[in-house]
Amino acid sequence: MSNDEKMVVTPWEVRGKVDYKKLIRQFGTQPITDKLLRRLRKHTGKLHPQLRRKLFFSHRDLDTVLELHEQGRTFVLYTGRGPSGPVHIGHLVPWIFTKYLQEKFKTKLYFQMTDDEKFVIEQNLNLQQTKKFAYENALDLIALGYDSTDTSIIFDVEDIALLYDIALQVAKRITFSTAKAAFGFQDNTNIGWIFWPAMQAVPCFIHKKLTGENLPCLIPAAIDQDPYWRVTRDVAEKLGFYKPAQIHCRFVPGLGIGGKMSAREPETCIFTTDTPEMVKRKIWAAYTGGRSTVKEQKETGGEPDACTVYQYFLYLFEEDDGRIKERARQCRAGENICGDCKALLTERVTDFLLEHQRKREKAKDIIQEFTMRHKTS
């Protein structure tokens, strides 16, 4: 994979160097402006690092949701996971951010585990496997510290009776030509996949069915999921709901060159279940913004913006803005070498994962409390 490749961003594939400004234009979303950040800050206090660093960079109707909130009508949050394998560090970015929003705005969260989606899309996975991954991935979500009172995990296959009537309402109003234009479906696409966007729309509207309350929904996710929201927004008002709002993040890059962290390239990807040895091996093999020799690095300095190791500090592993700036300055000035950054990142990721894995084990005792079966019984 290389940075010179043409940019491709779909829910299934992210390739090439991602131009986020171009995506805003192409997808017809809005940039998150400083004015909007100031408005958010009124509700949240200090902004989350992912907002301060513009890692969440684009939105649709976030201003509308805030306006309604200011008028006393709250909203629900919705996000999800396609359980095709273990969770990687990139998936955690929108989930950590969602938890922050949930705590600041005291909202309900619906989290969709799409064992059905991954079964119809991934040729080599059977339903038992995707259901197993759904359970395993839910442990990762819970390990982040979500509270079961306000968080419901929807396991699509198990909860289909709850979802199906809304999916039908949505499906009836999306034509094949709209779906083809949004998702690029071909004649050889299986029809499970073609129906799937109706299923991903359902949690935007589920709160009313469960409680009788018609509330807007805000979806934090990376921008790859955007085609789903475009088609869902088209039908929402026809069904008597608010158009779902979105807040989009950038992609945590893989440890290789270009593209997002993706389980399809496991050696460039840190999974939450990786051992310290695996973490070390992957980080030490990472693509950096450094020069080919230490001498050259000291003379000309490195390029933090092109460095995957630096991006990991930026996204997740350095909370302190001052220290992150200093790290970039030292790199540009040739004051540190890639080995220094790799060693520190290895230490931070390992510490984080050991703690995460401990919490993940504990999540097995409480996962039932998050399920729709438990909540609706």
Window 38-77: contact mask with ligand TYM (x via CB under 6 A): ----------------------------------------
User: Is residue 82 part of the contact set for ligand TYM (CB under 6 A)?
Assistant: yes
Check binding of 232 to ligand TYM (CB under 6 A).
Answer: no
In the complex, least distance from residue 150 CB atom to ligand TYM, rounded to whole angstroms: 17
Q: Which is nearer to ligand TYM, 254 or 302 (CB)?
A: 254
Q: What are the tokens at 31?
A: 């940039």
Number of residues that bind ligand TYM (CB under 6 A): 24
Count CA atoms within 13 Å of residue 78 on its CB side: 24
94 binds ligand TYM (CB under 6 A): yes
Closest approach of ligand TYM to the CB of residue 13, in Å: 10
* Distance of closest approach, residue 293 Cβ to ligand TYM, in angstroms: 31
- Minimum CB separation of residue 55 from ligand TYM in Å reads 9
For 248, the enclosing helix (H) or strand (E) is strand 245-249
Burial of 273 (0-12, 13-18, 19+ CB in 10 A): middle
Q: CB nearest ligand TYM: which residue? A: 82
Residue 317's closest CA among 346, 348, 340, 293? 348
Give the whole-angstrom CA distance, residue 227 versus residue 183: 7
Where in 153-212 is the site for ligand TYM (CB under 6 A)?
Answer: 200
Rule CB under 6 A: is residue 81 a binding residue for ligand TYM? yes
| DSSP characters over 253-264 | B-SSSSSB--TT
SS3 77: strand
Contacts with 253 (C-beta within 8 Å, 6 or more apart), sequence order: 259, 260, 261, 308, 311
Give the footprint of ligand TYM on residues 248-267 (CB under 6 A).
Answer: 249, 251-252, 260-261
* Triad 159, 165, 171: Cα angle to 5°: 110
Among residues 222, 338, 345, 363, the one that binds ligand TYM under rule CB under 6 A: 222
Closer to ligand TYM at the Cβ: 114 or 308? Answer: 114
Regarding 226 and contact with ligand TYM (CB under 6 A), the answer is no
Least CB distance to ligand TYM at residue 83 (A): 7
Q: Compute the distance between CA of residue 351 and CA of residue 344 in angstroms, rounded to an integer.
A: 11
In which element (H, E) is residue 324 found?
A: helix 321-332
Q: Which residues bind ligand TYM (CB under 6 A)?
A: 11, 78-82, 90-91, 93-94, 112, 114, 117, 200, 219, 221-222, 224-225, 249, 251-252, 260-261
